[in-house]
Structure 1
């Protein structure tokens, strides 16, 4: 139950834009940032919004959040995941990075690597890695999604099928406790499946908030992955399943700066 007309207006703004920011709302409603944070907290407690640093985003359902909203969600976790994943990829490697804000964090963490060949259907990844002069960047063809710079479609899959790389790094929109890896867009999932087939080592990068979300299209299972990289340990039940499948669980140990693998 929405407790005030202001909260109702906040919810309408979030539904229109996909996300809201504390400072903007405080100015719009001429109240303190603390008041807005309390409003957002109450809306989040009702399951109507998800809190992120500096604001809130819509709770995902059968459609994905907008790119800008996803980009700011769990930024710190994604940065840690990016560093952990990058530490698993040696210099002089070839890899494919797919669409997603977490794979973009991996790209940022690869800027100091040497002699990489990176194939991607993510324009944001390409624009990031172009700053690494020792990195060869190959961009897939296909239909460009203006919403997030992703390339999808049959042409994209056909292009990626020309490669056999050392690593595939893929993200997802949701993760089930049975290990199913989910996304929203069937066209994107088809491309991701091609990416996984064309790699010797398959890495899933995902923050643990994906365990609280749902999406309608199944990309595959953690059983299909060689490793899953997260910012904190997976629930024990899911870790046990990964052990049975032979899927490595990789988590950055935030407190000591090392990476734990189990």
Structure 2
């Protein structure tokens, strides 16, 4: 494989997140020194940023809009939503994050009795007329890509509320590191959501596992639960369990 072709493939690989030199060398069947030279070439062109033992894209991957995400992996998200519903008891107080998978889960709550606190502006049209639903919508700055609110107003309101469970989404989730997102405002609010709830549940399809394409992070607490789909590999599941997560795999 010629150097130019290999460097193009390296860039494509880095779109999934930070990767270390040894992994890249094994993947492309070349020496670690060859990978380092390729990364140095790409770094000089300002296409990648070197990290300890590896590299990541110099510019985070652009976020997809909520509409775009809702059109992707719909079967997996629906299965995850159904599996997550099994974790909820009647009358639980719930915090629901923004995101397409959490929105799919939220839509299943309409016929139940819950107090729901959310920054997810896709949910009020679904739940506002649910007879057993008490809906609390967090104000703040709107992120149009996710149709979720963030910022000081959302956080000030959330500090006055506690919940039984929080259901979170993420651009990526990495075992032992946490939730990966595009902005500090997002991870600040997610971290506070986790503090205000007794139980933390992350809803993430298999494409989100071990993905670190963005630069802001929210660490996860001990004893959190991951609900993912049947496409998750045994290796990924084992990695999350070894890091202390409870993993639930949703079936089709």
TM-score (norm 1): 0.68
Q: Which residue of 2 aligns with 1:251?
A: 249
Q: Is the 8 A contact 1:206 1:230 kept in 2?
A: yes
Are 1:151 and 2:149 counterparts?
A: yes
Q: Where does residue 164 of structure 1 map in the other structure?
A: 162
What is the alpha-carbon distance in structure 2 between the residues aligned to residue 242 and residue 154 of structure 1?
Answer: 32
Which ranges in structure 2 are unaligned for 5 or more consecutive residues? 1-58
> In the aligned structure 1, how far is the partner of 2:194 from the partner of 2:226?
13
Conserved? CA contact 1:62–1:216, under 8 Å: no
Aligned to 2:237: 239
Aligned residue pairs, count: 193
Task: Tell me how large the CA RMSD over aligned residues is.
Answer: 2.1
Give the C-alpha shift of residue 66 in structure 1: 2.0
> For structure 1, which runs of at least 5 residues remain unmatched after alignment?
1-59, 255-262
CA shift digits 1:185-243 (9 cap, x unpaired): 2111111111010000100000111137422111224x545210011264334433433
For the residues of structure 1 that align with 2:210 and 2:226, how far apart are their CA atoms? Answer: 17
Given that residues 63 and 145 in structure 2 are in contact (C-alpha distance below 8 angstroms), is that contact kept between their aligned partners in structure 1? no
Tell me whether 1:186 sits opposite 2:184 in the alignment: yes
What SS does the corresponding residue of 2:126 show, helix, strand or coil? Answer: helix
2:178, 2:188 → 1: CA distance?
A: 15
- How far the C-alpha of 1:178 sits from its partner, in A, is 4.9
Q: Compare relative contact order (CA 8 Å, sep 6+) and give the higher one, 1 or 2.
A: 2
Deviations along 1:74-98, one digit per CA (max 9) or x if unpaired, are 1111111111111210111101001
Q: Aligned partners of 1:69 and 1:181: how far apart in 2?
A: 20
Aligned partners of 1:141, 1:196: CA distance in 2, in Å? 18
In the alignment, the residues of structure 1 paired with residue 108 and residue 191 of structure 2 have an alpha-carbon distance, to the nearest angstrom, of: 24
2:81 paired residue number: 82
Q: Distance in 2 between matches of 1:198 and 1:105?
A: 22
2:192 matched to 1:199? no
Using the size of structure 2 for normalisation, the TM-score is 0.70
Give, in whole Å, the separation in 2 of the partners of 1:111 and 1:139: 16
